[in-house]
Structure formats: structure tokens, C-alpha cells
Amino acid sequence: MIDSLVTWAEHYKISGFRFDLMGHHMLTNMTEALAAVQAVDPDTYFYGEGWNFGEVANNARGENAIQANMAGTGIGSFNDRLRDAVRGGGPFDSEDGIRANQGFSNGLFTNPNNLSSGAQSEKDALLQRSDWIRVGIAGSLADYRFIAFDGIEKTGGEIDYNGQNAGYTADPQEIINYVSKHDNQTLWDNNQYKAPYAATVMERAQMQVVGLSIPILSQGIPFLHMGSELLRSKSMERDSYDSGDWFNEVDFSYQASAWNRGLPRQDKDGANWPLILRVIEGAGSNANPNPGSIAYTNDQVQELLTARANSPLFRLQTAEDVQQRLQFLNTGPAQTPGLIAYRLLDDGSNGLSDLDAGNDELVVLINGSNSTQTLSTSYTGSYTVAADTSPSNGAGASNGEFTVPALSVAVFSK
């Protein structure tokens, strides 16, 4: 394997390698391979799936390349913690359990569907999952400290994710933040499973943008599934690797999606057919992307990508920088549910080096709720809107108050 990797790097100039089921490799195999390839090209990046399961679970056959063992290697692994919090539930949910398990971006507690209620238990779940998102925004660093939903200061490694540590990296480059990829339902299809039937097609597009904004505006490596900015659908199919273009087509004319082309294959999704039929009937045309909603989503994703590209504060290189410059707002038990807010510092008066010549500070608000939110702070000075994904362009800042419309994202620059 190492010989092949070196050949690809040296003779074909391949500069990045993704490892399927990376956790089934021994950790030493991965680190030795990376060293060999970086001897050819020092900028080579390795990343993969560090899932802890099967015959290698919990280092049953030695120290494997699973998430818990990757800190300090410089090798990235996919962030299922952030993914599950944004999407809701988990990849192995089925039947009505899919719809019942809403996430941050599609209505958990703040906009319940017919199988949810907005109960206190759902609020508690949203606050817990918001901490999973915060850990991901902080590069999933094990040692990053912030105030958790219970009001106690904790490290990322102390935040529980289904019995595992939510934070486990030593360096922001060791995390791949994502909300969809080729495995499982596309982000659009996942949101159709979970969104309230009454949500309009534009509100559903806004949910898509809110979901995509989180990896885009996080520390670490953002990973975007092809076509997710175009409301890509696979007609609800979970596993489409050999289903052809009928389900897998991406329309780069920006006119339509592969939504509701027929029920997904019975061998993959037969148990979900009754729910899929109810979703199709209940949502009606609200679930079918149209040119306007596709254009909106694409434009807003481009705006968020531009915001990330324009400031090194979204691309901090060390754990120390993340701890010193990233400050979460709206935390603890009294937080506004459905609102992720944070501040990125760059002003020399704070004793920090100047990484961003254009900005002394950025404030980011990600509003997953279906109502306008205003966050009051003691911050002084003038803030301008650097990005605003709301259809109304309604984000604003004045006298330390930051306002973001429903299902929208705003970046403010000082």
C-alpha cells in the first residue's frame, strides 16, 4: 500500500488520499504511509473513516486508526458528532424513527414535526446536540474549553457523544466536518424526512443552508457533498452506489433535482417505504426543489465560502489559536435554543498576533430556529454584515445587539 501511495504522489501528483474504513488499518500503517508520502510531497493530506466497530472495535487487534487514536497524527477523520447533531438521529435510524429524530437544522424542539412535540426532553436534546456542534466548530479539539449546556466549563473531550468523547483531536486539521457524503441520504432527503410538512420549499432551502454553514464556518476541514449546494436528492435512497444516474444525477443546469423519481430500492429502503410515501404526500410540492430555491441555496453557499476564504480566522492552524481566539456565546442552561453564536478575535489589543488584516473581530450567528433571534452583548464598536443568508437580508448589528432572521446565518465583521 505504501509503495502504491508513493507512486501516485511522485508520478501522478496526487496530493490527498481518502481511506475508506480507515479504522481497520493499524495506526502505525497509516502514520508510516503518511511519512513516506510526505517525503515526496510535504503538503499531502490523509483522511478517512475512523469508525470504531467490528473486529477492530476498542483496539481488539492492536492500536487501530480509529477516531480515539488519531490525535497528534495530522490525519483527518470524519466528524459523526457534528453530522448527527445537525441532521438529527443517526445513520442507522429506520422507519418512523427517522422522522422522530429531528436535528438542529431541521426543527428539533424549535419547529417540531407531527412525530415530535416540542417537549422539555426535546429541548434538552437540542441543547446537548448544540454542544456537539460547538465542539465541531472548535475543530473537535479534546482540550478546547467552553461552557457546556449544563453551565459547567468542560473540555471537548469531556462532552459525551453516545458514550464516546465528542472532542478527540489535538490539531484542527485532524477533523473533517461534514453533514452529508455519498453514504446515507443526501442532506436534502434527510431534511424531507424530518421537516414539518407545512415548511415551504424556501424554508427547506434555508434549512439546507443552515446545515451546510456549520462545516463551512468551522475550524478544521470542511467537506461538502457534490450537489448539496444544489439541493441534491437521491429520491430518499440511502445507499445508491450501484443505482445508476436515475437516482444519482446532479443537475448542473440548476433547474431541478432527482426528488421523487420513484421509491428507492427495496433491498436498501423497503422498510422505509411507508414513511417515504407519507412524506411525499404530506409535504407535496414543498419538498420538490425548484429553480428559485436551488439558485438561492447555491448563492448563499457561495457567500459563506467567500466569507471563509476571506478570513484566516475561519482557518486557524493550531489548537492554541483556536482556544485563544474562538469564544462561544449563548451557552449554558439559559441559552436561546436553536442559536449557535461565537466570536473570533484578531485585535492586537487582546494580545493576539494579527492574522487578518481586514478584521479585528468576527461574530457568527447560526439560527436553526423558525423565528428571528437577537443576541445582546456588551460589545462596542461598529460591526458590518459580511454575510447574510436570509432571503430578506434582515441581519443587523447595533449597540452590541446582533439580529439574525429565522433559519439563517450571519457573519458580522468589526
The stretch 104-117 carries a mean pLDDT of: 98
Confidence tier at 349 by pLDDT (50, 70, 90): confident
Measured CA to CA in angstroms, residue 27 lies from 45, 48, 81, 138 at distances of 16, 12, 22, 24
pLDDT at 90: 96
Name residue 16's beta-bridge partners.
45
pLDDT at 350: 79
Q: Are 138 and 167 in contact (CB under 8 A)?
A: yes
Q: In the chain, pLDDT over 70 holds for what percent of residues? A: 100
Domain positions in the chain: 2-292, 327-413
The fold for domain 327-413 equals Immunoglobulin-like (2.60.40)
Point out the catalytic residue in the list 49, 84, 171, 237: 49
For residue 205 the three cell numbers come to 432551502
Indicate if the pLDDT at residue 220 is higher than 90: yes
Q: Are 82 and 67 in contact (CB under 8 A)?
A: no
CATH of the domain spanning 2-292 = 3.20.20.80
DSSP label of 265: P
Q: Which residue from 247, 233, 370, 237 is spatially nearest to 288, judged by alpha carbons?
A: 233
401 is a catalytic site residue: no
160 is a catalytic site residue: no
Can you tell me the distance from the alpha carbon of 303 to that of 56, in angstroms, rounded to the nearest whole number?
42
pLDDT in tens, 257-277: 999 999 999 999 999 999 999
pLDDT at 347: 82
Confidence tier at 336 by pLDDT (50, 70, 90): very high
Q: In the chain, pLDDT over 90 holds for what percent of residues? A: 98
Q: Which residue from 380, 371, 384, 369 is spatially nearest to 414, judged by alpha carbons?
A: 384
The stretch 24-32 carries a mean pLDDT of: 97
Indicate if the pLDDT at residue 348 is higher than 80: no
pLDDT in tens, 178-208: 999 999 999 999 999 999 999 999 999 999 9
Average pLDDT, the chain: 97
Point out the catalytic residue in the list 20, 43, 55, 281: 20
The number of angstroms, rounded, from the C-alpha of 82 to the middle of its chain's C-alpha atoms is 5
CA angle 393-107-260, nearest 5°?
90
pLDDT in tens, 112-154: 999 999 999 999 999 999 999 999 999 999 999 999 999 999 9
